């Protein structure tokens, strides 16, 4: 037998890439993801229009939204999407930064691979640098007094600059800080207490903060009262209708009287449902399922306000806000199971009517009602508000901020270079490449603003070398200046999370030297010759 006889060890439908080919392919995929969102960074970043297979349009410059809507398939690129989701969940902002740093770390690693430096040496250097960055961030960050609302407003305005909400960022900053302060309790902040409702009417400047809950539903009958004061609210998850038999049922009727009795019995059962609700003392009903027309009639007759087909998430919000219990069985309904609110009323906003529940028992339940002229504008404003909420919540938790506008990245890059000089092995080169990757953020900020990135980086480095550690690019006047004084600030957590996530994904991708990919359709046999 020949020594070069092919040996088949893989199924027919598996493709394999090994060694440098696998590494280059993964690095290229991750870099392409980074390049795709690079132009959205900063106050003068551009937006992307994403059209899905059924023609739905999304217009945004939010990193995580772009990556989710792109429907990425490459496994290494999917890992980049994951870090953007983690950044979104942990902080709510900085998704573009995390992905860009990861992409640049991989791009710089490719240069070291060309110099025959082993991937494990590169990953060791990157991890050393990431640990040092966290130390330096603690040193460079500024502890703030969370009672100073002006600083918190600056945070929100920094997050909103460059988004659709920028024209009303001052109003939104006030609204967001007020909302967070309302739900804060001993330093604990549960953003899920802030409900965001979208309404296509008026303009974004009419967006309002409502102390209570707003449900995107109207009363089921116009005969019901439009406003209920001193509301006692029943939350019911079962349908207020006749239950249909589970299997095929036959009813034998032999006379017209029996038929009439049968129909009357149906109406009596439905009337009994309405009487049961009334006898509990409830004057407002929120039902997760349907309400029969006959029940609607009797509820309206008793002056009870009712809404149906309320989503489960809204039912949970109502329960938390009013103190009412969600009941699965109407027979359990009693006065002590009811929620309370000062006012429940239907208010028409544009073409839609909504139900407002104000003066809830739990004062921490609040709603931000976003107005706007189109769905696309409203969706983008919602993303901007979520970024602002995340930023303020992050700062109120750890009470530390850093200079924005690329200032912190340049200072960290400078310190990491100094640290690299203390290393003697090949890890030194990886640490230096890490420092270069951090400079990618201010460089891109300048590029997206139409400035020369080389000139800006040179000026930034010069100022930082002279001890101006808060110097960054103020894109609004195209000058390099002290960002803390200019009010361009960000939560420290954005940077720590972005650098941790970016380093983790870059080191994981670098350590892959073999990719086995199964196809859905079997193809020709894969043969591997002379394999160890």
Give me the active site residues, please. 62, 95-96, 387
DSSP string spanning 441-466?
HHHHHHHHTTS-HHHHHHHHHHHHHT
Q: Do β-strands 305-307 and 284-287 pair in parallel, antiparallel, or remain unpaired?
A: parallel
What is the CB-side half-sphere exposure of residue 424 using CA atoms within 13 A? 0
Burial class (CB in 10 A: 0-12, 13-18, 19+), 330: middle
Q: Which two tokens stand for residue 413?
A: 């890059």
Angstrom distance (rounded) from CA 75 to CA 109: 19
Angstrom distance (rounded) from CA 364 to CA 136: 37
- Give the length of the chain: 532
DSSP string spanning 119-182?
HHHHHHHHHHHHHHHHHHHHHHSEE--TT-HHHHHHHHHHHHTTSGGGGGHHHHHHHHHHHHHH
195 has which bridge partners? 367
Residue 123: which residues within 8 A CB-CB, separation 6 or more?
A: 430, 506, 507, 510, 511
Phi–psi pair at 149, nearest 5 degrees: -70, -30
């Amino acid at each position: 037998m020949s020594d070069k006889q092919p040996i088949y060890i893989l199924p027919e439908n598996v493709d394999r890439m090994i060694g440098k080919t696998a590494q280059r392919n993964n690095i290229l995929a991750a870099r392409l993801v980074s390049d795709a969102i690079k132009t959205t960074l900063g106050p003068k970043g551009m937006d992307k229009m994403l059209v899905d297979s059924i023609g739905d349009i999304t217009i945004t410059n939010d990193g995580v939204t772009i990556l989710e809507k792109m429907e990425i398939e490459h496994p290494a690129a999917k890992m980049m999407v994951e870090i953007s989701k983690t950044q979104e969940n942990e902080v709510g902002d900085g998704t573009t930064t995390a992905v860009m740093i990861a992409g640049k770390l991989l791009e710089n690693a490719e240069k070291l691979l060309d110099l025959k430096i082993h991937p494990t040496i590169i990953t060791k250097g990157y991890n050393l640098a990431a640990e040092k960055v966290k130390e330096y961030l603690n040193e460079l960050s500024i502890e703030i007094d969370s009672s100073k609302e002006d600083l918190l407003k600056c945070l929100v305005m920094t997050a909103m600059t460059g988004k659709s909400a920028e024209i009303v960022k001052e109003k939104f900053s006030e609204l967001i800080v007020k909302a967070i302060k309302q739900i804060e309790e001993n330093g604990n902040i549960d953003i899920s207490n802030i409900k965001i409702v979208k309404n296509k009417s008026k303009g974004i400047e009419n967006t309002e903060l409502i102390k209570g809950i707003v449900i995107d539903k109207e009363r089921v009958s116009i005969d019901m009262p439009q406003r209920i004061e001193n509301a006692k609210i029943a939350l019911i998850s079962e349908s207020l209708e006749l239950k249909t038999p589970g299997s095929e049922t036959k009813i034998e009727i032999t006379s017209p009287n029996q038929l009439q009795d049968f129909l009357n019995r149906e109406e009596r059962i439905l009337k009994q449902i309405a009487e049961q609700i009334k006898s509990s003392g409830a004057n407002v009903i929120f039902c997760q399922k349907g309400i029969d027309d006959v029940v609607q009639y009797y509820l309206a007759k008793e002056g009870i306000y009712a809404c149906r087909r309320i989503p489960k998430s809204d039912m949970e919000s109502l329960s938390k806000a009013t103190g009412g219990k969600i009941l699965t069985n109407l027979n359990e309904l009693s006065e002590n199971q009811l929620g309370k609110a000062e006012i429940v009323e239907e208010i028409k906003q544009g073409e839609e009517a909504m139900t407002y529940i104000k003066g809830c028992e739990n004062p921490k339940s609040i709603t931000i009602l976003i107005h706007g002229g189109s769905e696309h504008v409203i969706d983008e404003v919602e993303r901007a508000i979520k970024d602002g909420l995340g930023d303020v919540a992050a700062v109120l938790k750890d009470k530390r901020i850093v200079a924005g506008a690329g200032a912190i990245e340049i200072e960290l890059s400078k310190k990491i270079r100094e640290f690299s000089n203390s290393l003697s092995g090949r890890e030194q080169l990886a640490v230096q490449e890490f420092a270069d990757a951090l400079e990618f953020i201010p460089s891109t900020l300048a590029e997206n603003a139409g400035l020369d990135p080389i000139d800006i980086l040179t000026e930034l480095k010069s100022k930082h070398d002279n001890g101006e550690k808060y110097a960054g690019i103020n894109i609004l006047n195209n000058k390099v200046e002290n960002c803390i004084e200019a009010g361009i600030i960000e939560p420290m957590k954005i940077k720590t999370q972005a650098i941790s996530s970016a380093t983790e994904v870059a080191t994981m991708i670098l350590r892959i030297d073999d990719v086995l990919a199964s196809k859905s359709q079997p193809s020709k046999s894969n043969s591997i010759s002379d394999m160890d």
